[in-house]
Amino acid sequence: MSNTFGTLLKLTTYGESHGESIGGVLDGCPAGFCVDVSKIQEELNKRKPGTNTWTSPRKESDEVQILSGIYQGKTLGTPIGFCIKNEDKKSEHYQNLENVFRPSHADYTYQAKYKHRDARGGGRSSARETACRVVAGAIAQQILAQISSIVVQSYVCQIGDICLPQEKADIVNVAQYVLQMPNHEYQDQAIAKINALKEIGDSVGGCIQTIVSHAPVGLGEPIFDKLHAKLAYAMFSIPAVKGFDLGQGFTAASMLGSQHNDAFYTDENGNIKTTTNHSAGIQGGISNGEEILFKTAFKPVSSIKIPQNTVNKAGEAEMISIQGRHDPCVVPRAVPIINAMTALVLLDFILQDRAKSF
Ligand SMILES: Cc1cc2nc3c(=O)[nH]c(=O)nc-3n(C[C@H](O)[C@H](O)[C@H](O)COP(=O)(O)O)c2cc1C
């Protein structure tokens, strides 16, 4: 399996949903940067289940324990090891899933590829693993704040067919909105939709918009490690992600060159800027100093109570109704995961730039 992400800044995660713990090692952090563990915990709290009626009722305190690499509140330059205990395991909910494949989950493909798997809570394929990314990303965000002016912000811009236009989004206050959808009118509609779907045992997907401000010019390593290629790779590694849209995305295909091109000008400080930002802050795989804008699409999660047709390990037809503890909509909990993966990508590129700048 591929359990490590990053080039100079490398995150390796371990753990299954119902094992003793999950955790990881973040290697490649330079020494001497301040890390506030309470800020890591704040990010973890945004992702953890059981905080409201729309998320999985699994109750996890998700308290991170730092095992190495940070001493007296500062990075040592050594690997940062950390773990989070799995406290609320109800593996009995998953006993029938040892033999039956949940439609559109990872059960069939893991079984076919590895022949032996931990089916409890989805095992390694469970999004519980993403808590480790949030820990590493929160460390990366704190380091970014000490070496740059970069700000990474994400918010829920769509739940099902309810789409929040960017001009109506109260982006600076995202954290104050329970669904991370920063507009009360749209959020209320989304809550009503999720509640109705929960009632009938169905699920719904949605999209998260990310805005990276004040990124310096020059991040990204063409040819293969273009900035947008690495961001897309990072986002697609998150469970349930089915789409990545950079700036205009697929709508660019129906625009004319004269509409899509971003005209250059020089501002009062002598910086080269663009009048529009259809390139979403990246040209040729390198950041151009404008805002980096992308959208990530999540499918409706597959564990639903509505009965579905499936087969068991022997290939025999069965009906399945999934009873465990599942989110009817995972999109709000994915906001800190997206911010974490974005911060890891950006810090990795900054480190690569510095490594080459002698
Ligand atoms: C924060 C988060 C929570 C999730 N919770 C669930 C869940 O409760 N039930 C479920 O079936 N899938 C859940 N998923 C999605 C599955 O992990 C994912 O669909 C599965 O691993 C198969 O991968 P794929 O959808 O990328 O093909 C969640 C995803 C995220 C990001």
In sequence order, the 6+-apart residues with CB closer than 8 A to the CB of 258 are: none
pLDDT value, residue 54: 65
Q: Does the pLDDT at position 226 exceed 80?
A: yes
pLDDT value, residue 94: 66
In sequence order, the 6+-apart residues with CB closer than 8 A to the CB of 33 are: 74, 75, 142, 143, 146, 147
In this prediction, residue 60 has a pLDDT band, given cuts at 50, 70 and 90, of confident
pLDDT tens profile 276-298:
999 999 999 999 999 999 999 99
Mean pLDDT within 147-165: 98
> Residues lining ligand 1, CB < 6 A?
56, 105-106, 125-127, 130, 238-240, 299, 301-303, 326-327, 330, 333-334
What percentage of residues in the chain have a pLDDT greater than 90?
90
CA of 351 to the centre of ligand 1 (A): 31
Q: Which domain holds residue 80?
A: 4-355
Residue nearest to atom 13 of ligand 1 (CA): 301
In this prediction, residue 323 has a pLDDT band, given cuts at 50, 70 and 90, of confident
Q: Ligand 1, closest atom to CA 302?
A: 11
CA of 106 to the centre of ligand 1 (A): 9
Overall domain count for the chain? 1
Mean pLDDT within 239-251: 96
pLDDT tens profile 80-126:
999 999 997 776 666 778 899 999 999 999 999 999 999 999 999 99
* Max Cα–Cα distance, the chain, nearest Å: 70
pLDDT value, residue 91: 66
CATH of the domain at 193: 3.60.150.10
CA of 329 to the centre of ligand 1 (A): 10
Pocket test of ligand 1: the residue of 56, 105, 298, 299 to mutate, having most ligand atoms within 8 Å of its CB, is 105
Residue type, position 141, single letter = Q
pLDDT value, residue 239: 98
pLDDT value, residue 13: 98
Phi–psi pair at 145, nearest 5 degrees: -65, -25
CA of 240 to the centre of ligand 1 (A): 5
CA of 149 to the centre of ligand 1 (A): 33
CA of 23 to the centre of ligand 1 (A): 18
pLDDT value, residue 178: 96
Q: Are 63 and 86 in contact (CB under 8 A)?
A: no
In this prediction, residue 53 has a pLDDT band, given cuts at 50, 70 and 90, of low
- C-alpha 39/C-alpha 138 separation (Å) is 7
Residue nearest to atom 27 of ligand 1 (CA): 240
pLDDT value, residue 96: 75
pLDDT tens profile 326-347:
789 999 999 999 999 999 999 9
Q: Ligand 1, closest atom to CA 106?
A: 22
- C-alpha 151/C-alpha 210 separation (Å) is 10
Q: Are 181 and 157 in contact (CB under 8 A)?
A: yes
- C-alpha 343/C-alpha 339 separation (Å) is 6
Pocket test of ligand 1: the residue of 154, 202, 302, 337 to mutate, having most ligand atoms within 8 Å of its CB, is 302
- What's the gap between Cα 294 and its chain centre? 12
CA of 30 to the centre of ligand 1 (A): 33
In sequence order, the 6+-apart residues with CB closer than 8 A to the CB of 21 are: 15, 83, 84, 85, 86
Residue nearest to atom 12 of ligand 1 (CA): 301
pLDDT tens profile 5-41:
999 999 999 999 999 999 999 999 999 999 999 999 9
Reported pTM: 0.97
In this prediction, residue 259 has a pLDDT band, given cuts at 50, 70 and 90, of very high
- Tally of CB atoms within 10 A around 68: 12
SS (H, E, C) the chain: CCCEECCCCEEEEECCCCCCEEEEEEECCCCCCECCHHHHHHHHHHHCCCCCCCCCCCCCCCCEEECCCEECCEECCCCEEEEEECCCCCHHHHHHHHCECCCCCCHHHHHHHHCCCCCHHHHHHCHHHHHHHHHHHHHHHHHHHHHCCCEEEEEEEEECCEECCHHHCCHHHHHHCCCCCCCHHHHHHHHHHHHHHHHHCCCCCEEEEEEEECCCCCCCECCCECHHHHHHHHHHCCCCEEEEEECCHHHHHHCCHHHHCCCEEECCCCCEEECCCCCCCEECCEECCCCEEEEEEECCCCCCCCCEEEEECCCCEEEECCCCCCCCCCHHHHHHHHHHHHHHHHHHHHHHHHHCCC
